Amino acid sequence: MIPPMNPDALHTLRTIFGYGEFRGHQGAIIEQVLGGGDALVLMPTGGGKSLCYQIPALLRPGTGIVISPLIALMQDQVDALLQLGVKAALLNSSLDAYTATQVEQRLLRGELDLLYVAPERLMTPRFLQLLERINVALFAIDEAHCVSQWGHDFRAEYLQLSVLHERFPQVPRIALTATADAPTRSEIVERLGLKEAQQFVSSFDRPNIRYHIVQKANARKQLLAFLEAEHRGDAGIIYCLSRKRVDETAQWLTEQGWNALPYHAGLESAVRHTHQQRFLREEGVIIVATVAFGMGIDKPNVRFVAHLDLPKSMEGYYQETGRGGRDGLPANAWMTYGLGDVIMLRQMVDGSEANEQRKHLEKQKLDALLGFCETTLCRRQVLLNYFGEATTAACGNCDNCLSPVQTWNGTVAAQMALSCVYRTGQRFGVGHLIDVLLAKTTESAQRCGHDKLSIFGIGKEFSQTQWSSIYRQLVAAGMLTVDMAGHGGLRLTSDSRPLLRGEQTIALRKDPAPRSKKSSATTTASVKNKYQFDSPEDQALWQALKNKRMELAREQGVPPYVIFHDATLLEMLEQRPARLSQFATIPGIGKQKLEHYGAKFLEVLAEYA
């Protein structure tokens, strides 16, 4: 990538942050803000958004003010910057009054390069007046999608941030987000008054993440097989929709010998804080959580993100899976999903208090996610196309690319399934419908007289699992919908008519048989093998480097990745520097880290020379 015209920016990148060149749009964004211009930045998680405002804040006169709704992320960012020798601090509700006053005094004395502040604090008249007494280098509005009332992380305080341009018209603003489709981008521009801002839209692709979706059979056993095959000792996040499911899953994993902790809003704040800190500061901890966890978590070596339940939208899925592999090393995005997930989410949408316009939008988003789950195409292509990024090449790094999906002419089977819905009155769930198709003389079928219908037993050529797959795909295709008034029964939609009349055919995906642990491991070997080395000596050195990192992190009370990312440790192992001058060439090692840690890690490397 061509560096920006300002040589000081590249010098800062090299000496403070330890990198030799800018990636993607970073250089152009930094040049825009250094020149006093506004910018809207869309960049995937792990793409280097923070550098886009940190370097201009260091080079422009005054203090850079970073607005973030995320207490955990603020602390992470400040810890990391202090390690680099950058004068950074934060102001949010986690500080006591004395500490907050000390930070404000440092701000007034001009002693801070960067100040992270919560939007609630920023918008108080007192703090705005405080800003008028200092030289503000820039305003960085992080997680800018929070301004969108149609988004998945709306924050009411963000609606007031347009006041920054009104009160400080000469101060450049940079709004940043990792998840925003075209309508959300327009809303950010409108609500933050960024019509004159230059927009920088990076690729949404995270090529190091491997997407893998399996049809739900026994979710816990499927999860355990996945973890045992590929992620023993790795840090990861497992998402569930309900708090109860979070607690039960975390307890079950603990009983199976895994270091798993629950996290959701129903836990006491002290417990949530303890679990989050353990996840950040220990190795190999798994967090089982609702979506309350993760936004702003900057842990770079999350090796997997698993979903035991279907998320609500592609935006939510993209953001949650994006918490894996922030260091650029391989990571897994694994999900198990079934018809029950679809029915439950559609019931949640129909039963919400949102207006009809909002419900319609949420159903569209859910339909897009279902299409992603059922696609026979490259999953990365479908995901990127959703965000308006056209791509023609298959990725070769998702389950559909690695094991191409077979399809079959499911027209007749689909007609049977739809006919069964119609003839039983369009008010029964899929379990009852399958019983009728398979001629199971259940009490319910006899009571309703369904054992006397012409469709009773017409589907014996397919198994219960196959019928479940057929119904799931028909719901995903929009030919069946969930009837809230009928307590979750299935109803025909107008889209089913051409198929029932024989005017249309349908190809259904052939669900693969469950994989054995051995075969499952081979599909994502690159994720696992990145940390397994050919020689015992290399494996021992890798562990020794991690131990040294943990020792230093505990001494300073910071997460290990604040000392060095896994990617930096891997470079040490591969390059085997013997002198400080060689150590300094490793990406991620700036001047301050070289001085503080160079000799200590060289000692470890020398032991295994």
Q: Is the pLDDT of residue 2 over 50?
A: no
379 or 392: whose pLDDT is higher?
379
Identify whether residues 193 and 217 lie together within a single domain. Answer: no
Which position has the token pair 């992470």? 76
Lowest mean pLDDT among 22-26, 252-256, 442-446, 473-477: 473-477
Instruction: Tell me how crowded residue 32 is: count the other CB atoms within 10 A of its CB.
Output: 22
pLDDT confidence tier of residue 527, bands split at 50, 70 and 90: very low
User: Does the model's pTM come out above 0.75?
Assistant: yes
Q: Is 9 exposed, middle or buried (0-12, 13-18, 19+ CB in 10 A)?
A: buried
pLDDT, tens digit, 9 for 90 and up, residues 548-580: 999 999 999 999 999 999 999 999 999 999 999
Q: Using DSSP, how many helices (H) and how many strands (E) does the chain show?
A: 29, 17
Q: Is the pLDDT of residue 294 over 70?
A: no
pLDDT confidence tier of residue 484, bands split at 50, 70 and 90: low
Displacement of CA 294 from its chain's centroid (Å): 8
Identify whether residues 310 and 367 lie together within a single domain. Answer: yes
pLDDT confidence tier of residue 1, bands split at 50, 70 and 90: very low
Identity of residue 338: G
Give the C-alpha separation, 219 to 337, whole Å: 8
| 173-177/136-141 β-pairing | parallel
Q: What is the pLDDT of residue 350?
A: 77
Long-range contacts of 22-29 (CB under 8 A, 24+ apart): 22/51, 23/47, 23/48, 24/48, 24/202, 24/203, 25/200, 25/202, 26/1, 26/51, 26/52, 27/1, 27/2, 27/3, 28/4, 28/200, 29/174, 29/200
CB-hemisphere CA count at 13 Å for 375?
22
Lowest mean pLDDT among 145-159, 181-195, 356-370, 557-571: 145-159
Q: Is the pLDDT of residue 241 over 80?
A: yes
Identify whether residues 412 and 443 lie together within a single domain. Answer: yes
Examine the fold and report which residue of 371, 402, 433 is the final residue of a domain before the chain moves on.
402
In a domain, 483, yes or no: yes
Q: What is the pLDDT of residue 520?
A: 43
Displacement of CA 566 from its chain's centroid (Å): 19
Q: Mean of the pLDDT values across residues 382-391?
A: 85
> CA-based angle 345:347:353, to the nearest 5?
105
In a domain, 222, yes or no: yes
Identity of residue 179: T
What Rg, from alpha-carbon coordinates, does the chain have? 27
462, 471 contact by CB (below 8 A): no
Examine the fold and report which residue of 476, 509, 542 is the final residue of a domain before the chain moves on.
509
Q: What is the pLDDT of residue 486?
A: 54
Token output for 184: 């959300």
423 or 293: whose pLDDT is higher?
423
Identify whether residues 421 and 272 lie together within a single domain. Answer: no
Lowest mean pLDDT among 58-62, 230-234, 390-394, 449-453: 390-394
DSSP state at residue 15: I
Owning domain of residue 302: 209-402
Q: Mean of the pLDDT values across residues 138-159?
A: 78
* Torsion angle of the four alpha carbons 340, 342, 345, 350, in this order, in degrees rounded to the nearest 10: -110
Q: Is the pLDDT of residue 514 over 90?
A: no
Give the C-alpha separation, 135 to 111, whole Å: 11
Token output for 201: 């839209």
Q: Is the pLDDT of residue 83 over 60?
A: yes
pLDDT confidence tier of residue 600, bands split at 50, 70 and 90: very high
Q: How far lies 381's CA from each of 212, 372, 396, 524, in Å?
A: 14, 10, 11, 19
Lowest mean pLDDT among 15-24, 365-374, 399-408, 478-487: 478-487
Q: What is the pLDDT of residue 366?
A: 84
Give the C-alpha separation, 364 to 379, whole Å: 18
Q: What is the pLDDT of residue 153?
A: 63
397, 207 contact by CB (below 8 A): yes
> CA-based angle 12:13:19, to the nearest 5?
145
Identify whether residues 442 and 391 lie together within a single domain. Answer: no
Instruction: Tell me how crowded residue 108 is: count the other CB atoms within 10 A of its CB.
Output: 13
Q: What is the pLDDT of residue 4?
A: 43
In a domain, 520, yes or no: no
Where does residue 442 fall: left (phi above 0), alpha (psi -120 to 50 degrees), or beta otherwise? beta
Identify whether residues 419 and 303 lie together within a single domain. Answer: no
Instruction: Tell me how crowded residue 360 is: count the other CB atoms within 10 A of its CB.
Output: 12
Q: Mean of the pLDDT values across residues 338-354?
A: 80
Give the C-alpha separation, 607 to 573, whole Å: 12
In a domain, 396, yes or no: yes
pLDDT confidence tier of residue 515, bands split at 50, 70 and 90: low
pLDDT, tens digit, 9 for 90 and up, residues 162-180: 889 889 999 999 999 887 7
In a domain, 262, yes or no: yes
Q: What is the pLDDT of residue 138?
A: 97
Q: What is the pLDDT of residue 163?
A: 87
Identify whether residues 377 and 489 lie together within a single domain. Answer: no
Q: What is the pLDDT of residue 370?
A: 87
Examine the fold and report which residue of 174, 201, 228 is the final residue of a domain before the chain moves on.
201
Identify whether residues 377 and 492 lie together within a single domain. Answer: no
Identify whether residues 345 and 278 lie together within a single domain. Answer: yes
> CA-based angle 483:484:487, to the nearest 5?
90
Q: What is the CATH number of the domain that holds 371?
A: 3.40.50.300
In a domain, 389, yes or no: yes
Give the C-alpha separation, 119 to 163, whole Å: 12
Q: What is the CATH number of the domain that holds 602?
A: 1.10.150.80
Token output for 116: 């992270």
121, 92 contact by CB (below 8 A): yes
Q: What is the CATH number of the domain that holds 460?
A: 1.10.10.10
In a domain, 519, yes or no: no
Q: Mean of the pLDDT values across residues 285-299?
A: 78
Identify whether residues 395 and 430 lie together within a single domain. Answer: no
Q: For the chain, what is the mean pLDDT?
A: 88
In a domain, 590, yes or no: yes
β partners of residue 260: 286
Where does residue 43 fall: left (phi above 0), alpha (psi -120 to 50 degrees), or beta otherwise? beta
Identify whether residues 36 and 124 lie together within a single domain. Answer: yes
Q: Is the pLDDT of residue 287 over 90?
A: yes
148, 188 contact by CB (below 8 A): yes
Domain count, the chain: 4
Identify whether residues 369 and 240 lie together within a single domain. Answer: yes
Q: Is the pLDDT of residue 434 over 90?
A: yes
pLDDT confidence tier of residue 36, bands split at 50, 70 and 90: very high
Identity of residue 607: E
pLDDT confidence tier of residue 531, bands split at 50, 70 and 90: low
Sheet holding 260-263, edge to edge: 209-215, 331-337, 302-307, 235-239, 286-289, 260-263
